[in-house]
């Protein structure tokens, strides 16, 4: 592992990013939020929905993210949304959906 990391020593961010494999960013937003009583993804922190904050972070490292299992409200934030292929299967179903939709090698 250290040998792999040493190849990046002394290089700028652009040089490092050119060597990193292609990645795809997905945000799992399924679930019923039954304990919360409303959609957790749309809760706001500092006036910004948590989903929008998360999307910005993902986009910084992986490009525009895709939301798995998000409702129409997620689309209103301008995010790409795909339906969870295994609703009710928990996070594992969302991960399987994301992998199936990913254009990045895995």
Residues, the chain: 106
Q: Is residue 59 part of a domain?
A: yes
Domain containing residue 40: CATH number: 3.90.550.10
Domains contained in the chain, number: 1
Confidence of residue 29 (pLDDT cuts 50, 70, 90): confident
Instruction: Give yes or no for residue 1 having a pLDDT over 50.
Output: no
Q: Is residue 28 part of a domain?
A: yes
Domain that holds residue 59: 22-101
* Angstrom distances, CA of residue 41 to CA of 25, 36, 48: 16, 11, 10
Tell me: the pLDDT tens digits for 40-89?
767 788 998 888 999 999 999 899 999 998 766 777 788 899 999 998 89
Q: What is the mean pLDDT of residues 83-97?
A: 92
Q: Is residue 3 part of a domain?
A: no
Provide the pLDDT for residue 44.
82
- pTM attached to this predicted model: 0.73
* Nearest alpha-carbon partner for 79 in 68, 66, 69, 95: 66
């Amino acid at each position: 592992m250290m040998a792999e990391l040493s190849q990046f020593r002394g290089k700028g961010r652009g040089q490092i990013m050119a060597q990193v494999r292609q990645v795809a960013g997905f945000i799992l937003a399924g679930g019923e939020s039954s304990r919360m009583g409303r959609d957790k993804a749309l809760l706001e922190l500092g006036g910004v929905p948590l989903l929008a904050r998360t999307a910005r972070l993902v986009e910084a490292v992986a490009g525009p993210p895709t939301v798995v299992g998000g409702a129409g409200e997620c689309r209103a934030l301008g995010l790409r949304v795909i339906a969870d292929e295994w609703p009710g299967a928990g996070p594992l179903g969302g991960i399987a959906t994301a992998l199936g939709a990913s254009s990045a090698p895995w």
